[in-house]
Structure 1
Amino acid sequence: MNPFPLILAAFRRSRLSAIVFIAVIALTVTMGIAISAQERALRKGSGTAADGFDLIVAAPGSHTDTLFSVVYLDPVAGGLLQPGTLAGLMAEDRADFAAPVGFGDSFRGDQVVGTTANLVGHLSGDLAEGRMFADRFEAVVGALSPLQTGAVIEIAHGDAGEMGDADHAGDHGHDHHDHHEGHAHDEHDDHADEHLHDPVTVVGRMQATGTPWDHAIVVPIEYTWYSHNLPLGHAPGDQDRIGPPFSPDHLPGVPAVVVKPQNFAAAYELRTRYRDEGSTAFFPAEVLVELYAVLGDAARIMSALTLAAQLLVVVAILAGLLAVLDLQRQRFAVLRALGAPGGFIFLTVWLYVWLLVMVGTVLGLPLGMLAAQVVSGLITAQTGVSMAPEIRLAELRLIGGLIGLSLLLAVVPAALIYRRPVVEALR
């Protein structure tokens, strides 16, 4: 005997209840899939974002704070690496380059980062358009910055970048060269107290890096020092040039330095060398492993809670289905009275319950993937960290486990219907 006509009839008879049950199961599965896929995408995206930062040297303090400041451009207040340490790093023959990184300015909410062309080239490779900055008042923007090459912007101190003037057109960005040409450091003391800094011209755009630097505005480190009334890193007669070599006697402190070691051995040597009373050095992966351990614990707790919620939902739905099927008990009793085997009734009820759970579970898979993609898009837009959630074995295992569990739990209403006496059910 074919049970599917009876299953279809039962669905039609209680269509609304069946649809609600399927929707609830699909929603529960969606949440589990989204949490699992998003947690893995966050790990992968944050790890990829740190790949370009081989070794970070900073003042003694929290490695996590420094990592978030340098890699994820979420600066926090902290100590400064002393000029002598910076000078030592710049002279290291075991490093391909050592790029100081400075913060403190923004434009319309986007971070303005001061550094050297070495780091920009390391992160981006060849520029997507334009050229590298060649003087103190030029900038290169990240791949996702709305600013266009040629735009002139007035950078603001701190996080008030959205208060900066709109970018100007034409040659206005070059007017400041005549005004500041040859000025010594002590000639702009009053400038540091102004809310807006000198205009900067955008001259290039980086390739996409999949990091928060894609939204950044990158200026020469000398601009950051200049705008904060600090020494410019060069001797008084050489202050119009940018980039290394710097003059050790004219360097200020910096929040951090990104170092590109020559090789694996040099990386560990530099890491050991600059872990002393005046500085700390670390690989970003070290900090991420610790963060992932915490994140992993939280993810396991969330997964356990999600699994428990799914189990409770399935149990509740089975109870609801049992109530629905109880309303159709006379139909099954009539079939039994007409000679239908008890095993056939059991199989029909079992398949009906299991199919509802399975349909909801299967629907939850693409919905969960869609939810993870939406969340990843929101996080990427907010942080700049590129994320690409994927369905992997963990999600398939979750789906398989729920379907397998429903195979067992569906036995309960099937057995109750099967065991009910025909005479009692006909009343």
Structure 2
Amino acid sequence: MNPLPFVRALLARNPRTVWLFAALVALASALGIAISAQERALRQGSARAADGFDLIVAAPGSQTDLLMATVYLRPGAVELLPGPVAHRVLNDPDAAFAAPLAFGDSHGESPVVGTTAELVQHLGCDLAEGRVFARMNEAVVGALVETPIGAELAIHHGHGIEPGAGLDADLAADLPAAPTHHDDHPQGAHGDHHEGDHEGVLVTGRMRPTGTPWDRAVIVPVEYVWSAHVMGTGHAPGDDRIGPPWQAELMPGLPAIVMKPEGIADAYGLRARYRDAETMAFFPAETLTGLYEVMGQAAQVMLALTLAAQILVIAAIFAGILAVLGLQRRSFAVLRALGAPAGYVFLSVWLYVAIMVMGGAAVGLPLGWAAAHLVSAMVAQRTGIAIVPMLGAPELMLAGLMVFCGLVLALLPAWLCYRRPVVEALR
């Protein structure tokens, strides 16, 4: 006997109950899938953001704080490398190039980063439009900074950064306001000057999208940041050049230096060389690995709790299904009295429950993927990291586990209906 017509009739008899149970399964399944996909997407996105930073050298301190400040441009207080030490690192012959990083200012919600044209080209390859900065009061903006080429940007001190972040603490506490305009400062596209704590900068170029927080940054010559905070420029007074070479005795301090080694052997050699009492060197990928271990442990706990919640949801659903099937016990008894075998009833009830579980899990898979995309968009908006969640083997296994548990538990109501005596059910 074919049980499908009878199962179809059972489903059509209580459509609201069927939809409700299937929706509960879908939501429980979507929660676990969203957590799994989002955690993996966050790891992949944050790893891609660090690809352009081979080796970071800074004053001894927290590698995590330095990683957040340099790669992800998160505000925070860091110690400065003394000028002579920074000069020695920047001129190391074993590096393909070494670029300084200086922080402490902002334009609106965009952090201002002081560095060299070489690092801009390294991170963004060819610019999307315009050219790299050639003067101290020029800037290149990230792909997501909404300002046209030729506009003048107002630069302010601080970006939610603690006093002294990226600057000498005593100096930062007593910084005088920089002049708002110099006679030789080029005007913006509209000829106006925006008021700020420091001299404005003229936008000369835009980077290509990198999928990193640098897409929201305003990048200026490192001399601009030094000069704005009355620290000199690393060059002789009156010398308006930007970029290396700098003079060791005039070199201001730096929060961090990004180095690109010539090869793998050079990378480990440079890291060992600058692990001493004055400097700290680390690979961002190694620091991220430690963070991923913590993140992975937290994700495993959340997934375990989610799986437990899913099992409880399924158990609660089956309790409701048992109540619904109890109301239909006479229908099963009539079938048995008409000659339907007990196995037919068992299979019909099992299929009835299995269809709801599998239907809910099938809906939960795209629902969880959509939820992961929503969360990723929110995280990307806050961090600037491009996060693209994808459904992979872990999510498919999670959905499959949900279905498997449901199909196994569906044997219980089917067995109870199978075991119920016909006479008792007809009363």
TM-score (norm 1): 0.92
Aligned twin of 1:151: 151
Aligned twin of 1:232: 233
Aligned twin of 1:276: 276
Structure 2 residue ranges without an equivalent (≥5): 162-179, 187-194
| 1:120-161 CA distance string (max 9 Å, x none) | 111011100000001011110001111111111111111279
Aligned twin of 1:84: 84
Aligned twin of 2:173: none
Q: 1:324 is aligned with what amino acid? A: V
> Counterparts of 2:129 and 2:86 in 1: how far apart (Å)?
31
Aligned twin of 1:167: none
Aligned twin of 1:164: none
> Counterparts of 2:369 and 2:160 in 1: how far apart (Å)?
37
Tell me, yes or no, if the aligned pair for 2:60 and 2:280 is still in contact at 8 Å: yes
Aligned twin of 2:199: 198
> Counterparts of 2:77 and 2:185 in 1: how far apart (Å)?
30
> Counterparts of 1:221 and 1:78 in 2: how far apart (Å)?
17
SS at 2:407's partner residue? helix
Aligned twin of 1:207: 208
Q: % of aligned pairs identical?
A: 56
| 1:215-251 CA distance string (max 9 Å, x none) | 100011011011111121111142x110111111111
The count of aligned residue pairs is: 401
Deviation at 1:98, TM superposition (A): 1.1
Deviation at 1:178, TM superposition (A): 2.9
SS at 2:253's partner residue? coil
Q: 1:364 is aligned with what amino acid? A: G
> Counterparts of 2:134 and 2:182 in 1: how far apart (Å)?
12
> Counterparts of 2:344 and 2:84 in 1: how far apart (Å)?
86
Tell me, yes or no, if the aligned pair for 1:152 and 1:200 is still in contact at 8 Å: yes
Deviation at 1:200, TM superposition (A): 0.7
| Deviates most, 1-10 or 110-119 | 1-10
Deviation at 1:116, TM superposition (A): 0.6
SS at 2:220's partner residue? strand
> Counterparts of 1:73 and 1:223 in 2: how far apart (Å)?
18
Aligned twin of 2:261: 261
Query: Where has structure 1 moved over 6 Å in runs of 4 or more?
Result: none
Structure 1 residue ranges without an equivalent (≥5): 162-174, 182-193
> Counterparts of 1:393 and 1:160 in 2: how far apart (Å)?
41
> Counterparts of 1:106 and 1:155 in 2: how far apart (Å)?
6
Q: 1:136 is aligned with what amino acid? A: M
> Counterparts of 2:120 and 2:25 in 1: how far apart (Å)?
49
Q: 1:160 to 1:78 in 2, by over 3 A?
A: closer
Q: How does 1:324-363 map to 2 (within 5 A)?
A: 324-363=324-363
Does 2:209 correspond to 1:217? no
Q: How does 1:48-87 map to 2 (within 5 A)?
A: 48-87=48-87
> Counterparts of 1:236 and 1:273 in 2: how far apart (Å)?
33
Tell me, yes or no, if the aligned pair for 1:106 and 1:160 is still in contact at 8 Å: no
Q: How does 1:7-406 map to 2 (within 5 A)?
A: 7-159=7-159, 176=181, 178-179=183-184, 196-238=197-239, 240-406=240-406
Q: 1:160 to 1:299 in 2, by over 3 A?
A: closer
Tell me, yes or no, if the aligned pair for 2:100 and 2:254 is still in contact at 8 Å: yes
Q: 1:232 is aligned with what amino acid? A: T
Deviation at 1:195, TM superposition (A): 5.7
Q: 2:183 is aligned with what amino acid? A: D
Task: Quote the RMSD (CA, aligned, Å).
Answer: 1.5
SS at 2:154's partner residue? strand
SS at 1:198's partner residue? coil
Deviation at 1:176, TM superposition (A): 4.4
Tell me, yes or no, if the aligned pair for 1:25 and 1:314 is still in contact at 8 Å: yes
SS at 1:101's partner residue? strand
Tell me, yes or no, if the aligned pair for 1:150 and 1:201 is still in contact at 8 Å: yes
Q: 2:198 is aligned with what amino acid? A: H
Q: 1:220 is aligned with what amino acid? A: P
> Counterparts of 2:400 and 2:185 in 1: how far apart (Å)?
69
> Counterparts of 1:96 and 1:176 in 2: how far apart (Å)?
37
Larger helix share, 1 or 2: 1
Tell me, yes or no, if the aligned pair for 2:353 and 2:410 is still in contact at 8 Å: yes
> Counterparts of 1:160 and 1:30 in 2: how far apart (Å)?
36
Q: 1:359 is aligned with what amino acid? A: G
